[in-house]
Structure 1
Amino acid sequence: MNGSNRLAAEKQKIVQEKCLAILTGMLKDDDNKYCVDCDAKGPRWASWNLGVFLCIRCAGIHRNLGVHISKVKSVNLDTWKPEQAVALQQMGNSRARAVYEANLPDNFRRPQTDSALESFIRAKYEHNKYTAREWVPPRLPKVNWDAEIDAMIRDQKHRKGSRGRVESPAPLLTKPLAAPSPV
């Protein structure tokens, strides 16, 4: 692998590490510990354009909505772009519920059967039945981590370079040191 390919691969690795750090950090938030649609514990999927964390069952339903409505990825199995991770970071389950469930009936109970759950998810995201009237979806954020990543790579190279260097020992004395003069 030549130098520019190695550098590109190193940058891509750092981007993925940063994206994964953002996502796993978000999954520690109480509201993101449960699927936004069915409340199943431990979601490992996300719809990055809607900004929500999902269980595998709801992720399948979201995929059936089509990418014009929901863009689904695995939190830790897929490759993420910085804009996608930051878009998810800007929303999260708690804000998403405030937006997409603003007009849910007070006595609403989350559906548990597959067909009822799919109907709810379609009403929620495809037909915007419960969405806050004033909601305007934000544009995809512009993210540029280039300078930060370049600095990280320079620091790593500097540390590697200093680790491989052997310090020369102190010079050997050829004459004995003079004894201190008495005071």
Structure 2
Amino acid sequence: MKMAGSKPGDELWTSKLGNKYRKIDVEVNHNANMALLQKMRSESSNRLCAECGKDGTIWSSVNLGVFTCMRCGSLHRALGTHVSKPKGCTGTYLWGPDEISRMQEIGNKRAAVIYGGISQRPEKDAPDSVWLSYLRDKYERNIFAGVSRPNATVLSSKSTSKSFSSHPKQEKGGATKSIWAATREGGNARAVPTDDLLQLSDLARGSQKQFSDEDFFAQFGV
């Protein structure tokens, strides 16, 4: 977005979460952000697609905070941006600090606790229509989640590098909202301490401590 009469370097770039940054800052930090994404994708739980469990994740949903394979990334696109905001992770697209933070805050292991649905997932070779119905149940209707919406804690979209000049939209009604509202609206919420984010001992009814890497892989039969 370039405004008439703006000075060089003032052009703004809008993330998929709705926050605005100076485009030049986002471009300067592109390689560093790609390195962060690669590091996250190499983690054991993020290496497997959050949906089908396939090894190798090259797509993500930046509002839901999950890494996916190419096929499931395409299915996320079919959900519509009011449900999922998919984005490639391999360097084709610029990434904003809020988007990087969202992936750091959630990730596939935490998402498995928040959204549920692992035991209900279709067979890997099921038709796209079956998978799409499942994903709508999981993310749009939230029927697998083991938490009540009002008790979920707000996500932060601004716990990011201070080197970025951001222009977040002001949000009415305070910072507290459900995780589902945050993911739907793009997460223009005020920053909160990382330790307070997604208190999964509450969100998952005390299951976070027992949800190890082994538990995560076991749900995919790995």
TM over 0.5: yes
Q: TM-score, normalised by structure 2?
A: 0.57
C-alpha change, 1:104 and 1:60, in structure 2 (3 Å) is: closer
Deviation at 1:9, TM superposition (A): 7.1
Deviation at 1:56, TM superposition (A): 1.1
Q: Identify the residue that residue 123 of structure 2 maps to in structure 1.
A: 111
Q: Identify the residue that residue 74 of structure 1 maps to in structure 2.
A: 88
Output the amino acid matched with 2:157.
P
Output the amino acid matched with 1:78.
Y
Deviations 1:61-94 (A, max 9, x none): 1111111110000002211111011111100000
Give distance in 1, aligned partners of 2:96 and 2:136: 26
Deviation at 1:126, TM superposition (A): 1.1
Give distance in 2, aligned partners of 1:25 and 1:130: 29
From 81, 87, 107, the equivalent of 1:92 is 107
Gaps of 5+ in 2: 1-6, 10-21, 166-222
Q: TM-score, normalised by structure 1?
A: 0.68
Deviations 1:5-48 (A, max 9, x none): 4xx77633332122212211101110111110011110100001
The answer to whether the Cα contact below 8 Å between 1:46 and 1:52 also exists between their aligned partners in 2 is yes
Give distance in 1, aligned partners of 2:23 and 2:64: 29
C-alpha change, 1:119 and 1:81, in structure 2 (3 Å) is: same
Q: Identify the residue that residue 124 of structure 1 maps to in structure 2.
A: 138
> SS state of the match for residue 49, structure 2?
coil
Residues 23-34 of structure 1 aligned to structure 2 (within 5 Å) = 23-34=37-48
From 68, 76, 81, the equivalent of 1:62 is 76
Deviation at 1:111, TM superposition (A): 2.5
> SS state of the match for residue 138, structure 2?
helix
The percent of aligned pairs where both chains have the same amino acid is 30
Q: How large is the RMSD of aligned CA atoms in angstroms?
A: 2.7
Output the amino acid matched with 1:142.
K
Give distance in 1, aligned partners of 2:26 and 2:131: 37
From 138, 161, 176, the equivalent of 1:145 is 161
> SS state of the match for residue 73, structure 1?
strand
C-alpha change, 1:80 and 1:144, in structure 2 (3 Å) is: same
C-alpha change, 1:9 and 1:96, in structure 2 (3 Å) is: closer
Give distance in 2, aligned partners of 1:115 and 1:44: 22
Q: Identify the residue that residue 29 of structure 2 maps to in structure 1.
A: 15
Output the amino acid matched with 1:79.
L
The answer to whether the Cα contact below 8 Å between 2:58 and 2:68 also exists between their aligned partners in 1 is yes
Which has the larger Rg?
1
Deviation at 1:146, TM superposition (A): 4.3
Give distance in 1, aligned partners of 2:24 and 2:118: 46
Output the amino acid matched with 1:13.
E
